[in-house]
Each structure stands twice: as C-alpha cells, then as structure tokens.
C-alpha cells in the first residue's frame, strides 16, 4: 500500500461512504472509482460511480477496494470484489453474522484476495495513503508498525507514539473471524523495511495474540514487539463491545495472552500510555 | 443474545435434539412423581446455589425457590441415566470452521476439564458419517448422529455463537439433553425475527455489561472502553459496568448512555473517556450536560479529538472538569 495504490469505494453514495471518500481524497488516496447499485453514471467528489464492480474494473485499474455497504448486503459486496479480481478488500462494515464472514474469508483466500476486517477502521500509511476511516491527524510518518483489534485505542496509541511516527497502521477488526489475523499483519511488518518496531494492540478472546507470541518465540519475528491487551477486568462469556472480545470455554483469556507474551519475551504495557516507555526501551537497544 | 435454558431447549427440539418432557411456569404446580425443578436464570452455577432440585414435591420446591427471588421455573420429568457426556459447537475462530467440542464427562466445568477434544467440520460440507464415528469412538457412546447434526445446524442455520449440551444423558431410550446453553450471534438476529418473537424477546442492540464495582464507565470504541475499565481497576477502583457508545455517537446517544449508567443505584461516580475521531467532542459535551442535570452524580470526563475546544468550553460552563488523559481523569474520580 502506497500513494499509487488505486482504490475503489463500494457503497460510495451512502452516508459513511461519501463522507470518508472525501476524507480519503483529501489525504491523497488515489480513489479511481466508486460502486453504488442504481447510481451508475453519476459522480461523487469527482469520482465516477458504477453500478457494479465489474463495470468499474473494466474502466479502471483497481488495486484495492474499501467496503461501506450495510451489514445485510456487505457479504455480496465482498464476493463481487473478489470475483472482479481485486487483490485487497478492506471491510469497514460492522455487524456481519460470523458465519457469513467465515464463508467469504475462505472464498477470498482460495482466490488470492487479501481481506482486512470486517468491523475495522482500515489502514493508513502516514503521508502516503489512507484506505479506511482512521482520523489522519493522529498519525505521522515514522518507524513503528501498529496492528490493532481496536479503533479509538489505536488512535490513542498512535498519538502517544507521535515522536516515533508510524510506518503503517492496520486495524484488523473486532470480529471473531477476520480476513487478516494479527499474526499475518505482524509478519508483514517483519518484512517491511520501513518498520523498526511493532506494536500489537490486542484484546481478550481468540488466540491471535498467542500466535504472535509463538512466532516471536520461534524466531520468525526478529524485530522488537511491544504489546497491550485490553480486557483484564472483563467477565467471561460477555461480549465487550466487539463481537470478538469474548471468552468462551476459557479460550483466549487475558491471562493466557499475558503468559504467552511473557514466555516469548514480548514486553506488555499495563496501560496504553506505557506503550511509549516500552517502545523507547526496545528502540534504544 | 444468551438464551434461557428452556429457550435453548426449544431450539434443540427444532433441530431434532431430544430433551426431557417439561413445562415452564411462574406459578407453583402439581406434578405426579419425581421431577427436576430448575430456576431459569441467565447466570451459571445454579446447581451450587441450590437452584436445580430433584424432588417429589414440585409445588413446595417452587415456593422455596420463589422465596429466593426466582420468577421462572422449568419443571421436567426426572431422567434416570447411566452416563453423562459433554457436547458443544461453535465457530473455531482460527480456522473459520464450525467445531464440535466433546468430553466423555458431562456435568462438569468444561474449562477445568482435561478430557476435552475438538473436531472441526469444514464449513464447505455437512456433518458426515465418519465425523460421527470419530466423536462416538472418542466418547464411547453410539447414536450421536442426530445430536451432532442438530448442534451444527444451530451454528450454521440458527447462527448460534455457542450451543452447549452439558450434560447429555445416556439412557436406555437414547440420548437426552438435560441442560442447554445457547448464545445467538447478535449480528445475525435480524434473520431470525420469527424465533426472537416466538421467544418473546427483543433484539438487544447496545454493548452494556454489568460489573461488580461502583465506578460507571463510558467510552467510545470497545478497546478504549475496556482499557478505561482496566485502568480503573489498576488504579485501585472497581468498575460498575462497561458501556461502549460506538463510533459517531451524537448528543442524544451520549445522554442516554450516561443516564443508563448514572441511574444504576450502585454507581457513585462516572468516568467518561472519549477519543473523538468520527465522534465530535461538542456533541459529547452537549449529551453529558443534558444527562448531568438529571443524575447529579460526579462525572469525570476525558475529552480529546474533533471539536475538542468547543466540547471543553461547554463542559466548563457547567463546572465539569475535563482531562487530557484517562489516567488523570480516573485519578481524580478515585480521590474525590
């Protein structure tokens, strides 16, 4: 993802879609087209709108798509993008049933499409491109890669880390099943020459944080990693705002993640503010 | 949405999983012979609290439990059985496949059990004979096909986030689910309106979670709100709730949220943590003022982001102090 990434917006004429399209354009993102069934032929902020992804893909080269379509219709939008050969699909939409997510994540994977989300704020490469809804003023170009299951907490941590700046920030989403799990994003940062340290913002539920710890322990990640996990005081079997922030049958508890990070030698911040001290330490080494 | 035991059993019946004969009642009833009286509560550990009783006198047992404040009861025939096993299904978050969780010992706390195995069923196909065979061999029980198909059906057709039978009784006449725990995917409730109305439930749409303490917590974004709750604990306080107002909340939503938290009698103080991106701080401030006039409990507001200056100005007019970060807001809340 860089300043040349050509982006399609699905659901471009909706309230969220049109609002964030204008913000992304302002940031410099190359939005080449939008899709909104029944609105084909019109223009929004100078961006040509098509009825289908296939029609847009005929006229424009498309590297990535961002989806703002409401939950009921979002799965179809994903299949449409995948079938048109879009290689990166970022799903902002929240509240898609988990079984539907599991189905399209699998569908995309076997066809070579990378999905980010759903229920995520998207990605930002500060100074280059924004494919998402992250408020750009809290991000600046630098050396820390951030991967997060949360939205606002990411903005908070990015602004706390202002003096170091960020290479890329990826909000992977708060759902139980997501297209790009945390460990994949961390491996991407490992390969990214601009990233010198990685911040992982996790929460209770699931086992992605444990996977990151395993990779670190196995030596597959050599760059320094610093972590924060939200939900220390969350009760079992309660959904904490995110569909994915829930512990069933004792899987993915706060303690399990803390232990995994400790064993892997990944320093864990007790508060979001402490992330800065830990980054300072690992970068000084 | 977590279902009551009797509601879960209603779904069990729909997918062909057998349950004991029973009735749901709010009043004491007469019953011939031995029966099980079960308080219908959403919290677990009913057994330990004496809220599941085998009895020959259903009428008085209901009266006794009523005295403990229980309102709804499930009365079921007593099922003599030789063995209890554990079965549940849910989506495996890592592989994206439904999985069956099985243990040869039922009626236990599955989290503490060492004897547990999972069987993943690929999303692209249904439960097949050889899947059933594998689970049956592990559990040492025959005749599981209908139960396993039914459990998978609950996940894939009824959008259950978790469907648990603990225990499943092995009897001479077959397998019966003695208990049920079913949690439906809140995101999928819109496609099961028929069931929701059959149960007489309403779609729950907010993120409110009740906790034990006395500090009310409101934030925007699940992660930030959890972090706020955790900070209160780390700094020596005790959170009373979790409430994430979500992205782009307007003044009305903020006011409603503060009233909801503030009207809880155990809440002594309220901490609000807002990092405005799409959410505008001036909207937040107006919502806070609106609710503050009605609840009259101390409120500590951390406010930063879009239209921050205007938001702070509004709050200051009403004498509400604002903070630059959550730590100082919580610090003051705990001190004062």
Using CA atoms, how far apart are residues A105 and A176, in angstroms rounded to an integer?
12
CATH number where A10 lies: 3.40.50.720
In a domain, A129, yes or no: no
Q: Is A125 within a domain?
A: no
Domain end position, chosen among A89, A116, A143:
A116
The count of CB pairs under 8 A between chains A and B is 170
Give yes or no: residues A86 and A149 share one domain: no
* Pick from A80-89, A94-103, A209-218, B291-300: least confident: B291-300
- Are residues A38 and A160 located together in one domain of the fold? no
Q: Residue range B211-224: average pLDDT?
A: 96
Distance CA A265, CA A263 (A): 5
Is the predicted pLDDT of residue B247 greater than 90, yes or no?
A: no
Residue with tokens 């029966």: B35
Average model confidence (pLDDT) for chain A?
Answer: 96
Q: How far apart are CA A92 and CA A24, in angstroms?
A: 14
Q: Interior CA angle at A215 toward A209 and A217, to 5°?
A: 105
pLDDT of res. A153:
95
In a domain, A1, yes or no: no
B318 pLDDT higher than 80: yes
pLDDT for A18 beyond 80: yes
Q: What is the mean pLDDT of residues A175-198?
A: 98
User: Could you tell me whether strands B174-177 and B160-171 are parallel, antiparallel, or unpaired per DSSP bridges?
Assistant: antiparallel
Choice between B202 and B311, residue whose per-residue pLDDT is larger = B311
| pLDDT tops 80 at residue B205 | no
In this complex, the residue of A98, A105, A230 whose CB is nearest that of residue B227 is: A230
Q: Is residue A128 part of a domain?
A: no
- What residues of A are in contact with residue B244 (Cβ under 8 Å)? 240-241
Domains, chain B, with CATH or none: 21-77 (3.30.1490.20), 83-198 (3.30.470.20), 209-335 (3.40.50.261)
- Among the candidates A116, A150, A185, a domain finishes at A116
pLDDT of residue A32: 98
Distance CA A199, CA A169 (A): 9
Residue B279 has pLDDT above 90, yes or no: no
Q: What is the pLDDT of residues A203-258, one digit of tens each?
A: 999 999 999 999 999 999 999 999 999 999 999 889 999 989 999 888 899 999 99
Tell me, yes or no, whether A106 and A145 share the same domain. Answer: no
- Co-location of A145 and A27 in the same domain: no
Q: Do B226 and A134 make contact, defined as CB atoms within 8 angstroms?
A: no
pLDDT of residue B43: 80
Contact state of B220 with A152 under an 8 Å Cβ cutoff? yes
pLDDT value of position B49: 85
In the predicted model, what is the mean pLDDT of residues A27-42?
97
Asked if the Cβ–Cβ distance from B223 to A238 is below 8 Å, we say no
Per-residue pLDDT reduced to its tens digit, A257-271: 999 999 999 999 999
Contact A51, A39 (CB under 8 A): yes
Q: Do B191 and A97 touch (CB under 8 A)?
A: yes
Whether residue A112 is found in the same domain as residue A139: no
Residues A278 and A151 in one domain: yes
As for the ipTM of the complex, it is 0.93
* Cross-chain residue pair B186–A235, CB shorter than 8 Å: no
- In the set A20, A60, A95, A242, the catalytic residue is A242
Which one of the listed residues B6, B86, B292, B323 is annotated catalytic? Answer: B86
Averaged pLDDT for residues A167-186: 97
Mean pLDDT for the stretch of residues A73-99:
97
- State residue A251's pLDDT score: 85
Q: Does B225 touch chain A (CB under 8 A)?
A: yes
Same domain, A193 and A280: yes
Among this protein's residues, is B77 annotated catalytic? Answer: no
A121 domain-assigned: no
Whether A95 and B187 lie within 8 Å, measured CB to CB: yes
Question: Are A107 and A223 part of one and the same domain?
Answer: no
CA dist A56 and A61 (Å) reads 9
What does the mean pLDDT of chain B come to? 94
Q: Is B208 on the interface with A (CB under 8 A)?
A: no
For chain A, what is the domain count? 2
Q: Provide the CA B196 distance to its chain's centre, in angstroms.
A: 16
The range of the structural domain enclosing residue A151 comes to 134-284
Buried b (16+ CB within 10 A) or exposed e, A199-219: bbbbbbbbbbbbbbbbbbeee
Would you say residue A159 lies in a domain? yes
Residues of B in contact with A246 (CB under 8 A): 161
Q: What is the pLDDT of residue B107?
A: 81
Residues A278 and A150 in one domain: yes
**Last residue of one domain, picked from the residues A87, A116, A145:** A116
Substitution target in B93, B159, B164, B236 with the highest count of A β-carbons within 10 Å is B93
Q: Is residue A127 predicted with pLDDT exceeding 80?
A: yes
**Cis peptide bond prior to B66, omega within 30° of 0:** no
Q: What pLDDT score was predicted for residue B302? A: 96
Q: Are B257 and B227 in contact (CB under 8 A)?
A: no
The DSSP secondary structure of B185-251, one letter per residue, reads -GGGGGGGHHHHHHTT-----S--EE-SSSEEEEESSHHHHHHHHHHHHHTT--B-EE-B--TT--H
Q: What is the mean pLDDT of residues B239-243?
A: 97
Per-residue model confidence (pLDDT) at position B210: 93
Q: Find the CB nearest B247 among A151, A250, A252.
A: A151
Q: Average pLDDT for residues A179-200, to the nearest whole number? A: 98
| CATH code of the domain containing A231 | 3.40.50.261
> In this complex, is the C-beta atom of B162 within 8 Å of any C-beta atom belonging to chain A?
yes
Residue numbers in B near A204 (CB within 8 A): 226
Q: What's the rounded Cα separation, in Å, for the pair A176 and A204?
A: 11
Q: Summarize the confidence of residues B108-123 as an average pLDDT.
A: 88
Residues A161 and A58 in one domain: no
Look up residue A13 and give its two tokens.
């004429």
Residues in chain B: 336
Whether residue A97 sits in one domain with residue A232: no
> Does residue B298 have a pLDDT over 80?
yes
> Considering the domain boundaries, does residue A233 fall inside one?
yes
Contact, A128 vs A169, CB < 8 A? Answer: no
Residues of chain A contacting residue B90, judged by C-beta atoms under 8 Å apart: 248-249
φ, ψ for residue A163, nearest 5 deg: -65, -20
Q: Which of B101, B226, B326 sits opposite A231 (nearest CB)?
A: B226
**Residue in B198, B147, B192, B157 with CA at minimum distance from that of residue B12:** B147
Q: CA dist A263 to A165, A213, A222, Å?
A: 28, 8, 15
Q: What is the mean pLDDT of residues B65-81?
A: 95
| Pairing between β-strand A122-125 and β-strand A166-171 as defined by DSSP bridges | antiparallel
Cis peptide before B33 (omega within 30 of 0): no
Measured CA to CA in angstroms, residue A44 lies from A24, A34, A65, A78, B302 at distances of 13, 8, 16, 22, 37
Separation of alpha carbons B182 and B180, rounded Å:
6
Beta strands in B73-196 (DSSP E): 73-77, 83-91, 98-103, 117-120, 160-171, 174-177, 181-184
Q: Report if residue A126 sits inside a domain.
A: no
pLDDT(A158) > 90: yes
Q: Summarize the annotated binding site of A for substrate as residue ranges.
A: 155
pLDDT score, position A273: 95
Cβ separation A155–B219 shorter than 8 A: no
B207 contact residues in A (CB cutoff 8 A): 239-241
A60–chain B nearest CA distance, Å: 30
From the candidates B5, B7, B84, B164, give the one annotated as an active-site residue.
B164
Nearest-CB residue to A273 (from B101, B183, B327) = B327
Are both A56 and A175 inside the same structural domain?
A: no
**Residues in B touching A95 (Cβ below 8 Å):** 186-187
The C-alpha of B293 sits at a distance from chain A's nearest C-alpha, in angstroms, of 27
Q: Tell me the binding residues of A.
A: 13-16, 39, 92-94, 155
- Name every chain B residue with its beta carbon within 8 A of the beta carbon of A232: 230, 233-234
The whole-angstrom separation of Cα B57 and Cα B37 is: 10
Q: How confident is the model at residue B128 (pLDDT cuts 50, 70, 90)?
A: very high
């Amino acid at each position: 993802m860089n300043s040349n990434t050509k982006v399609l917006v699905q659901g471009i004429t909706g309230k969220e879609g049109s609002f964030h399209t204008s913000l992304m354009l302002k940031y410099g993102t190359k939005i080449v087209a939008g899709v909104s069934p029944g609105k084909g032929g019109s223009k929004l902020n100078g961006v040509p709108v098509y009825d289908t992804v296939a029609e847009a893909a005929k006229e424009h080269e498309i590297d990535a798509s961002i989806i703002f379509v409401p939950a009921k219709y979002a799965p179809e939008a994903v299949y449409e993008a995948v079938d048109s050969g879009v290689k990166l699909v970022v799903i902002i939409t929240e509240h898609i049933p988990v079984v539907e997510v599991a189905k399209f994540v699998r569908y995309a994977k076997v066809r070579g499409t990378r999905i980010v989300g759903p229920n995520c704020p998207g990605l930002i490469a500060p100074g280059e491109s924004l494919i998402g809804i992250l408020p750009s003023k809290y991000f600046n170009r630098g050396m820390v890669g951030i991967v997060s299951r949360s939205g606002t907490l990411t903005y908070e941590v990015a602004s706390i880390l202002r003096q170091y700046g960020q290479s890329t920030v990826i909000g992977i989403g708060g759902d139980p099943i997501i297209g790009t799990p945390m460990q994949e994003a961390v491996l991407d940062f490992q390969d990214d020459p601009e990233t010198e340290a990685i911040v992982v913002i996790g929460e209770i539920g699931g086992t992605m944080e444990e996977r990151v710890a395993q990779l670190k322990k196995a030596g597959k990640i050599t760059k320094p990693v610093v972590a924060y996990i939200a939900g220390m005081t969350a009760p079992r079997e309660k959904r904490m705002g995110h569909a994915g922030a829930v512990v069933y049958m004792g899987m993915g508890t706060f303690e399990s993640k803390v232990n995994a990070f400790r064993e892997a030698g990944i320093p864990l911040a007790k508060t979001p503010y402490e992330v800065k001290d830990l980054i300072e330490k690992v970068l000084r080494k | 949405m977590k279902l009551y035991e009797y509601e879960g059993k209603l779904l069990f019946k729909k997918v062909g999983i057998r349950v004991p004969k029973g009735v749901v009642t709010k009043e004491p009833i007469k019953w011939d012979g031995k029966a099980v009286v079960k308080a219908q509560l959403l919290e677990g550990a009913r057994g330990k609290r004496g809220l599941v009783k085998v009895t020959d006198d259903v009428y008085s047992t209901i009266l006794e439990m009523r005295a403990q404040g229980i309102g709804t009861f499930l009365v079921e025939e007593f099922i003599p059985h030789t063995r209890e096993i554990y079965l549940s299904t849910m989506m495996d978050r890592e592989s994206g496949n439904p999985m069956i969780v099985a243990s040869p010992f039922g009626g236990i706390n599955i989290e503490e059990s060492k004897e547990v195995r999972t069987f993943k069923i690929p999303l692209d196909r249904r439960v097949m004979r050889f899947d059933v065979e594998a689970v049956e061999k592990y559990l040492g029980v025959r005749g599981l096909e209908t139960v396993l198909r039914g459990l998978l059906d609950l996940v894939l057709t009824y959008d259950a986030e978790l469907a648990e039978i603990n225990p499943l009784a092995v009897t001479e006449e077959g397998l019966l689910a003695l208990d049920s725990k079913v949690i439906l995917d809140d995101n999928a409730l819109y496609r099961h309106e028929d069931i929701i109305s059959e149960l007489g439930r309403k779609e729950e749409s907010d993120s409110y979670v009740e906790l034990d303490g006395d500090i009310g917590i409101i934030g925007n974004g699940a992660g930030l709100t959890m972090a706020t709750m955790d900070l209160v604990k780390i700094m020596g306080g005790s959170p009373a709730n979790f409430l994430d107002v979500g992205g782009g909340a307007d003044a009305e939503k903020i006011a409603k949220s503060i009233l909801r938290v503030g009207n809880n009698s155990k809440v002594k103080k309220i901490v609000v943590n807002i990092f405005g991106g799409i959410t505008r701080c001036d909207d937040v401030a107006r919502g806070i003022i609106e609710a503050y006039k009605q609840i009259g409990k101390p409120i500590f507001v951390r406010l930063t982001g879009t239209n921050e200056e205007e938001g702070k100005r509004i709050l200051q007019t009403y004498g509400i102090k604002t903070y630059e970060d959550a730590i100082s807001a919580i610090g003051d809340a705990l001190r004062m």
